[in-house]
Every structure is written in C-alpha cells, then in structure tokens.
Structure 1
C-alpha cells in the first residue's frame, strides 16, 4: 500500500513551486506556464511526530481559452474565472491515509486508506503593479470524499501575500484555517473500542469543528528568466477535538511542521 511518506513530504516544496513562478511574475501581470518539482520533510501522518522525506511534482498551465489549471503535489484545481480577480472552479485533493506507520502503538489503531476528495473553490486574487508591487489572494475550498473513507466534508480558508525585496528575491506568507465534519475527525483522530483494546489508548469519539490553523513563510530566488528556486516552512496547529485526540496528546504533537525546497521552469 502507498505510504504517506511517499506522497506528502514534498507538500511544502510544492507550495514553493506555486510561489516561485506565480508570485514574481504576477507582480507584472504576466503569468507564465511552468512545471517543476520539490523535496521536503513532514510528519508521517496527521498528528504524528515521526518525520519522513519525499518529493512531489507541480505545474501551472493556462489553456488557449484562458482557463487556469494548477497542480501542486496532492492538490489540483481548474479555474473558470479570471487569472486575476474573481476565481472559481472544481478542485481535487488526494487525502493521505495512515498505514504501515513507525509508531508501534498507532500501528494498532485502525488504518485509514488514502482517498480522493472532490469539490470546488471560490477566491479572489489582486495583483498590484506600481512603486511597491504586491500580490494578494484569498480562497475558500470545500471538498468531500462522499463517504468512501470519511463522512461529511472539509472546508478550508487560505490567504497569501507576496512582494519583492530585491530584483531577484521575493518573500511571501499566508494564514489559513480548516473546519471538518465529525465523521472526518472520527476517521483520522478517533479511537474505537477495538482500537483501545489493541493499542492501550483510551476510547475517543471526536466531533466536528475547527480542525487546524495554518501559517507559512517562503522566499523565492529568480535564477534566470526561466528558472526559479525557493524554500518554505509550513506550520499547522491542530485544534479542538483533533488536538485532544490520544493519537496527538499521547503519541504525537499538535504542532505539525513541513519544510521544503523547490525548483521550477517557466515557459510561455
């Protein structure tokens, strides 16, 4: 079965890819196509503390009809709106599971399969060109896997800002939050009676609500007109019922950090 380590460790680096090309070029309102890859490190599963390393691809492509396709690691979306201004469209996400983990206790808790989530997003992007150019973006995404692995849905709010500090250096940051259904938390953070008997952890049945808050910082360097490199640190703090799970309090940590580096090639 596919382990989380092979899929998620480059998520921070994948986000760098988005900033590495879109941010500097957005400031002049000329968005290119690009493809690239990244490597990074993150926790083995949501709420865990053991770390792993992996790699992911990323790309951005504007169709002949002016629509935008973006794919960063485990997330992809297709924008039917404007390249700047109001944006909307379908979204797909690969929700990574929990299987074959290193922690011997968590290995006795029910496994969670990797699953595909589907839904949509709405957002707005503003690109300012002037004496001090900058780029702002806000987006709300709603996805579900229709009960295949968990019941209910996941709603995420994400914001970002980018601005230059040198002709070739750009910095960015963002804040976000995620709300989930009770069914989501039960799957990823719950402890059933059978789990408790095998692992020794207490029975735990979480409800829904605020799942996490996030923040990130990144820096981008333009190597040449077509090549960009970047580095990023992405922080997730589990909240409420997710943070109170024995998976987190007894075997893991509510503070989840992902970091990575990426490189991308831009083309017209």
Structure 2
C-alpha cells in the first residue's frame, strides 16, 4: 500500500534525523535498578480469531539512582530508547505474531507461519502525564507484511508505588499483511465455500489499552493490563472473520514483578 509505505519511509527518515541531531548523552554512573515481571497473558490466537491463546507476559524496565522507573505501555513492542532528546525518544521495536493453521481456524485456509517483526518506534511526551507513540515493524518470514501501531496514553502514578495508564490505539497494515490473514483466494474459496475476497492494506483496528502496576512491598509487585481492539474496514469485512472469527479482539495479562539492584 503506497500510503503506508510513504508513512513508514517518513518514520524511518525521522528516526535517522533525530539520531544524528547531536552527541549521545553523558555517561550516567548512578546505581541501576531493574524491575522484571513475568506471568501469563491471554491474546487472540491470530489476527481476527474468536479464540484466545496463552502466552508469556514479560515486563522489564530500569532506572538509575532515585529516578522513577519509566512508563512503558503493556502492549508496546519490545525495545529500548537509543536516543533521547528532551521529550523525544527513538529506538528499535521487535514484535512476534504467532502462526495460523487450517486447524486453528477450522477451515482449509493457507498456513501463515510464525513471524518475527523488526522495526522502530518514535515517542513523544506531551506532558509528564500524556505520551504519544508510533511503531512500524516489518515481518521477517510468516506474513512478511508491514504493520504500524499508533497510540497515546494518559499516565497517573505515585512514584514507583503505583502506576495507571489508559489510552487509544490504532493499527494499520499493508496489503501483504492483510492478504495473509484476511484475504480469500479464488482457489481457497472453492475449497472452503467462502466467497473470494481481496483485503486491501489500510486501517486494521481501533481500540483501547489500560495498564496497572502496583508495588506490594520489599522488591515485589504486580503488573497487569487489559486491551480491546475492534477490527474495521477490510479486516472486519473478511469472510474468514465473519464466519470463523470475531471483529472483537480482547487481550489481558498479569505478571508478578521483582526489582533487582538499586
């Protein structure tokens, strides 16, 4: 899809320009502490599924000295800031999308292999309580498509004692990604009885994510989240979703955290 490719090219160009804007920040020798969370999460088995799968929920953040641990949305991709300029931050973003098989769907659809996704993010804090973030990732194998997530979060917190966040999410994907999960080729239509359908790239879903982190005492705490997405446009019109899946995509997770160092 031309528009999404243009947006992704502009996104990458912005990362490069920001990365070359000046020298790296001075070395910070203050003691570092790191909070690691691990637990289960339930997510859609594949994009457009009406069932859920159990996967690990991992949450890792770190800070130096007496600085509060930074906010990270529970549904953002794995990554870290390689450059911070005031309220701007940029860095790599790594994601993973599970496979989809004919058995998963219950129909003779082509398999979509498990996909590692690599790309980058750009985020900007409007205020201490409002953060905007965008990610663009490319599938390496599997769906081989391009996917972008844009969102914002309102963050309320009391230091590291507790943190609550909530905000909207919008997901875009190119034609290759939508073909993999939502299109029905003519030959597949004959085999399954579904009508042929060519899903174009564009808007995929809109939704909301909320997260809550709580310090329990000592070095222990909990991290949790809930997320809802609603498929729109071609993904919502896909015969696969209409017959075998759901336009409502729900996720949630709960992790026990432990803080090292400090």
On the 8 A contact 1:154/1:178 being kept in 2, the answer is yes
Q: Kindly tell me: are residues 31 and 220 of structure 1, through their superposed partners in 2, closer, same or farther at Cα, counting changes over 3 Å?
A: farther
Partner of 2:114: 114
Equivalent residues in 2 for 1:171-186, closer than 5 Å: 171-186=164-179
* Rounded Cα–Cα distance in structure 2 between residues aligned with 1:114 and 1:91: 17
- The two structures have a TM-score, normalised by structure 2, of 0.75
Specify every segment of 5 or more residues in structure 2 that has no aligned partner in the other structure, as ranges. Answer: 1-30, 65-69
* Rounded Cα–Cα distance in structure 2 between residues aligned with 1:90 and 1:167: 25
Q: 4+ residue stretches of structure 1 with deviation over 4 A?
A: 70-74, 165-169
Equivalent residues in 2 for 1:37-76, closer than 5 Å: 37-61=38-62, 75-76=77-78
2:98 corresponds to which of 71, 96, 99: 96
* Rounded Cα–Cα distance in structure 1 between residues aligned with 2:226 and 2:208: 9
On the 8 A contact 2:88/2:125 being kept in 1, the answer is yes
When the two structures are aligned, how many residues end up with a matched partner?
A: 225
Equivalent residues in 2 for 1:53-202, closer than 5 Å: 53-61=54-62, 75-82=77-84, 85-99=87-101, 101-105=103-107, 108-125=108-125, 128=128, 135-145=129-139, 148-150=141-143, 152-164=145-157, 168-202=161-195
Specify every segment of 5 or more residues in structure 1 that has no aligned partner in the other structure, as ranges. Answer: 1-29, 129-134
How far residue 167 of structure 1 moved from its aligned partner, in angstroms, is 9.2
**C-alpha deviations, 1:230-257, integer Å up to 9, x for none?**
3321001111011110111111110111
On the 8 A contact 1:219/1:231 being kept in 2, the answer is yes
- The two structures have a TM-score, normalised by structure 1, of 0.73
Partner of 1:7: none
Q: Kindly tell me: are residues 71 and 77 of structure 1, through their superposed partners in 2, closer, same or farther at Cα, counting changes over 3 Å?
A: farther
How far residue 157 of structure 1 moved from its aligned partner, in angstroms, is 0.6
**C-alpha deviations, 1:12-69, integer Å up to 9, x for none?**
xxxxxxxxxxxxxxxxxx9942212121223222111123333233323469xxxx9x
Q: Kindly tell me: are residues 168 and 123 of structure 1, through their superposed partners in 2, closer, same or farther at Cα, counting changes over 3 Å?
A: closer
Aligned to 1:110, the other structure's residue is in SS state coil
* Rounded Cα–Cα distance in structure 2 between residues aligned with 1:34 and 1:83: 24
On the 8 A contact 2:173/2:202 being kept in 1, the answer is yes
How far residue 187 of structure 1 moved from its aligned partner, in angstroms, is 0.9
* Rounded Cα–Cα distance in structure 2 between residues aligned with 1:234 and 1:71: 11
Q: Kindly tell me: are residues 95 and 51 of structure 1, through their superposed partners in 2, closer, same or farther at Cα, counting changes over 3 Å?
A: closer
How far residue 168 of structure 1 moved from its aligned partner, in angstroms, is 4.4
How large is the RMSD of aligned CA atoms in angstroms? 3.1
Aligned to 1:198, the other structure's residue is in SS state helix
On the 8 A contact 2:39/2:256 being kept in 1, the answer is yes
More deviation in 186-195 or 214-223? 214-223
* Rounded Cα–Cα distance in structure 2 between residues aligned with 1:211 and 1:195: 22
On the 8 A contact 1:243/1:254 being kept in 2, the answer is yes
